């Protein structure tokens, strides 16, 4: 069900806003402890990720160290085909490329010698805030926003995420990240909606 929010909530970079929420985020569940999963083979990274041009620049600012960490040259990181979208910083986005792995196509930034996102682990090991480097779509997962609607990510809507229907709710999983990108005021309203959906935090 789509619920209208009390007000318009802007992202902290002022690039986008939300006015509605799909209450499925308070009900749908997925296996939140990704690195403890033994059966998904990082399938949520199958398609790569959308990245705004400013985020591309922040990733490329760490190119020498990240190239050494990932063993993949920067020329292979992005498609550099941009799509216009007013909800992205800079009004457009490109995508990370995908590579063939024993488990199928995966994002170029997926670690090859261990589980999980290479950008995320690189940031943690380098003392960097992953919010500033890792694509927003990835750290907000399994929720996203589109046309001012906060909703489940595509993989949830299409029921192609193999770890669905177990673990925490989508909102519980993404609550801190939503707070980071929007505001504590939005979280207060969403917390109440979560309680209304009988999905206690």
Please state the domain extents for the chain.
Answer: 2-196
Residue 35 has pLDDT above 90, yes or no: no
Place of tokens 């400013």: 54
Span 138-186, pLDDT tens digits:
999 999 999 999 999 998 888 888 777 888 999 999 999 999 999 999 9
Q: 89: left (phi > 0), else alpha (psi -120 to 50), else beta?
A: beta
Cα–Cα distance, 109 to 130 (Å, whole number): 13
Place of tokens 């196509």: 105
Query: What does the mean pLDDT of the chain come to?
Result: 91
pLDDT at 167: 86
Nearest to 149 by CA among 23, 19, 16: 19
pLDDT at 33: 67
Residues 32-47: what's their mean pLDDT? 71
* pTM metric for this prediction: 0.89
Span 1-10, pLDDT tens digits:
999 999 999 9
Phi then psi dihedrals of residue 26, to 5 deg: -90, -5
Residues 18-30: what's their mean pLDDT? 95
Span 87-128, pLDDT tens digits:
999 999 999 999 998 878 999 999 988 888 999 999 999 999
Residue 133 has pLDDT above 60, yes or no: yes
Phi then psi dihedrals of residue 52, to 5 deg: -75, 160
Q: Counting beta carbons within 10 angstroms of the beta carbon of residue 196, is it exposed (0 to 12), middle (13 to 18) or buried (19 or more)?
A: exposed
Phi then psi dihedrals of residue 146, to 5 deg: -160, 130
* Structure-block tokens of residue 131: 């919010």
């Amino acid at each position: 069900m789509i619920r209208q929010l009390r007000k318009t909530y802007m992202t902290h970079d002022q690039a986008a806003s939300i006015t509605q929420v799909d209450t499925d985020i308070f009900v749908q569940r997925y296996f939140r402890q990704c690195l403890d999963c033994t059966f998904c083979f990082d399938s949520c990274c199958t398609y790569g990720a959308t990245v705004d041009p400013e985020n591309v620049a922040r990733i490329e600012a760490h190119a020498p160290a990240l190239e050494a960490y990932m063993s993949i040259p920067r020329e292979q990181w992005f498609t550099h085909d941009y799509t216009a979208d007013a909800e992205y910083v800079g009004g457009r986005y490109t995508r990370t490329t995908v590579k063939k792995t024993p488990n199928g196509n995966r994002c170029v930034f997926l670690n090859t010698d261990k589980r999980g996102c290479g950008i995320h682990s690189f940031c943690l090991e380098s003392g960097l805030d992953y919010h500033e480097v890792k694509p927003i779509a990835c750290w907000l997962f399994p929720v996203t926003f589109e046309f001012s609607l906060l909703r489940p990510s595509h993989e949830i809507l299409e029921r192609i995420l193999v770890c669905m229907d177990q673990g925490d709710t989508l909102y519980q999983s993404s609550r801190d990240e939503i707070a980071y990108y929007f505001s504590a005021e939005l979280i207060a309203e969403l917390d109440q909606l979560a309680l209304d959906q009988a999905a206690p935090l």
